């Protein structure tokens, strides 16, 4: 990931900054990471000694700690804007306020500050062996423990990546660091939202145990049968962390997203004594993560939950944003709650198990986000349409396509977060995320959910474009672009199912409808300019429907 500052191309930033206690292995692990990634390594203490022309203990003795911290802070600030490798800091460096500010700016620019959380006993032994540490003068172990008590909370606050290295070789620890600094993170916050992260990349499911802490005892693992290999992995991780895991398999896709299935889970949670201090983990596609969130929102009026989406659609849509729910005979997602997760872990390893058609349908939601806000998504889809359409899970991991897909996930989630953070409960701006969904939900209902959501959304966006064109909001070229882009990705752009009367009746039940008035989300002028279209002429609504018939 390029960390050059787009506002100033001359600014180079480290790929990662490593912090930790004395003896945590920052230098050894940092060198290993740099070697694996084939990039430079720099140690702040070594660079300081080079700059001042003497060893750090001697500098301490001659000038004192305040003078040293000033030199240290200035050097770190310079390296944060003129070094593009792995950068390791001295043990006390993050305690300096100006360095904390510089690290915060670095993180804001996309950087990774990695806190190596080493075993205290191991770290003390290494620190004592190393010698030459003025901060450990006197009773070294007592001083180390006192410093740890002071520094650990600060390090956890300063860092945005925590790597546990206890009882691990430097090589294993370095591999963990490398995987984690390659991850993409989208931070979700806003009014009425308890902040959480969407973490994207290979192996991110490993973080699922980090969001619950010591307060959780039992975890209900809700998953579908087709993702058994992934739920097995989640179960093992949770049990290794000491949680009591209840394994709950539910029917696949929309068949599992019903009140009847939810009721069976509620009864099971009651039988097994789940309380407010316990948690839910959802593993699977969008229906499974919707259901898991709904169970978490309703059990004991709300318990913690995390999502591990295993399909592209779930990663970019259902697992984030806090919309949870089930379907009823009246329609899709009409019963539910707005309830945000403690974390979402979009592990790209799980995409390798997807059939081509299930991967492709997720691109419908990706393209939608490009149309409503991020035109770069559309450019990426155009540039890689052939590769995306030919997706093969067997060759996906480690390929160039994996990084393309990771960027598409990150960008799509960012679009969603932008709307959700301003409007969690879908009273205004968040409704723009429903571009194409008014028709899409009707198609799904009339097809008895045999049509997958992303495919229905693709047709729905074409319908919305046709309606906008008929009413003069966009030109024919943009309608044609909808069709050509979606078709190039292998997505459908037409539908020959139910009658207009059936569709119209369902569109009147859409969540955006107000009373008997239809409301659509359409583009006004071009991609990125989105408006609500209220009560359009009936003949235009019907004509747009006629145009999406194949």
Annotated binding site for substrate: 45, 69, 91, 151
Residues that constitute the known binding site for ATP: 23-28, 133, 168
DSSP state at residue 68: H
CB atoms within 10 A of CB 335: 16
Rounded Cα gap, residues 191 and 424, in angstroms: 7
Rounded Cα gap, residues 193 and 340, in angstroms: 7
Tokens representing 142 are: 């007592």
Residues that constitute the known binding site for Zn(2+): 365, 437, 453
Q: CA torsion 416→419→422→427, rounded to 10°?
A: -120
Rounded Cα gap, residues 265 and 493, in angstroms: 38
The contacts of residue 271 (CB under 8 Å, 6+ apart) are: none
Rounded Cα gap, residues 169 and 120, in angstroms: 15
CB atoms within 10 A of CB 311: 29
Strand partners, 197: 187
Residues that constitute the known binding site: 23-28, 45, 69, 91, 133, 151, 168, 252-257, 286-290, 310-311, 323, 332, 365, 437, 453
Selection from 475, 470, 438 nearest residue 457 by Cα: 438
Selection from 387, 371, 530, 436 nearest residue 379 by Cα: 371
CA 409 to chain centre: 8
DSSP state at residue 316: I
Give the strand order in the sheet containing 218-224: 184-190, 193-201, 343-347, 304-309, 279-284, 218-224, 244-250
Q: Is-contact 532 467, C-beta < 8 A?
A: no
Residues that constitute the known binding site for Mg(2+): 27
Rounded Cα gap, residues 548 and 550, in angstroms: 6
Residues that constitute the known binding site for NAD(+): 252-257, 286-290, 310-311, 323, 332
């Amino acid at each position: 990931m390029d960390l050059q500052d787009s506002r100033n191309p001359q600014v180079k930033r480290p790929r990662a900054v490593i912090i930790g206690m004395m003896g945590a292995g920052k230098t050894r692990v940092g060198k290993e990471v740099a070697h694996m990634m084939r990039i430079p390594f720099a140690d702040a203490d070594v660079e300081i000694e080079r700059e001042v022309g003497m060893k750090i203990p001697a500098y301490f003795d001659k000038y004192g700690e305040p003078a040293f911290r000033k030199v240290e802070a200035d050097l770190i600030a310079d390296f944060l804007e003129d070094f593009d490798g792995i950068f390791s800091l001295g043990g006390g460096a993050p305690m300096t306020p100006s360095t904390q500010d510089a690290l915060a700016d670095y993180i804001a620019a996309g950087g990774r500050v990695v806190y190596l959380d080493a075993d205290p006993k191991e770290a003390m032994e290494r620190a004592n062996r190393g010698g030459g540490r003025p901060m450990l003068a006197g009773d070294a172990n007592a001083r180390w423990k006192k410093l740890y008590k002071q520094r650990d909370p600060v390090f956890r606050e300063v860092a945005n990546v925590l790597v546990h290295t206890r009882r691990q070789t430097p090589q294993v620890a370095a591999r963990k660091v490398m995987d984690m600094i390659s991850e993409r993170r989208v931070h979700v916050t806003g009014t009425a939202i308890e902040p959480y992260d969407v973490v994207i990349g290979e192996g991110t499911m490993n973080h699922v145990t980090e969001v619950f802490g010591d307060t959780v005892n039992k975890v209900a693992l809700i998953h579908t049968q087709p993702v058994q290999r992934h739920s097995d992995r989640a179960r093992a991780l949770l049990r290794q962390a000491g949680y009591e895991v209840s394994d709950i398999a539910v029917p696949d896709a929309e068949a599992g997203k019903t009140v009847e299935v939810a009721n069976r889970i509620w009864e099971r949670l009651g039988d097994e004594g789940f309380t407010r201090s316990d948690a839910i983990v959802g593993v699977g596609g969008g229906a499974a993560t919707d259901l898991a969130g709904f169970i978490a929102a309703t059990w004991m009026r709300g318990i913690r939950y995390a999502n591990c989406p295993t399909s592209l659609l779930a990663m970019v849509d259902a697992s984030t944003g806090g919309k949870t729910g089930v379907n009823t005979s009246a329609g899709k997602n009409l019963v539910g709650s707005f309830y945000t997760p403690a974390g979402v872990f979009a592990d790209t390893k799980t995409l390798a198990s997807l059939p081509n058609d299930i991967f492709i349908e997720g691109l419908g939601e990706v393209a939608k986000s490009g149309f409503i806000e991020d035109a770069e998504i559309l450019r990426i889809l155009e540039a890689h349409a052939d590769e995306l359409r030919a997706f093969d899970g067997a060759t996906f991991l480690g390929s160039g396509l994996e990084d393309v897909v990771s960027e598409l996930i990150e960008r799509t989630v960012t679009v969603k977060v932008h709307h959700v953070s301003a409007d969690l409960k879908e009273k205004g701006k968040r409704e723009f995320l429903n571009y194409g969904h008014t028709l899409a939900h009707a198609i799904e209902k009339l097809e008895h959910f045999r049509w997958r959501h992303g495919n229905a959304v693709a047709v729905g966006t074409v319908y919305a474009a046709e309606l906008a064109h008929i009413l003069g909001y966009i030109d024919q070229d943009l309608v044609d672009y909808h069709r050509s882009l979606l078709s190039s990705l292998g997505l459908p752009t037409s539908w020959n199912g139910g009658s207009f009367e059936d569709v119209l009746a369902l569109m009147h039940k859409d969540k955006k409808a107000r009373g008997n008035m239809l409301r659509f989300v359409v583009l006004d002028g071009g991609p990125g300019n989105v408006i609500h279209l209220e009560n359009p002429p009936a003949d235009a609504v019907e004509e747009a429907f006629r145009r999406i018939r194949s």
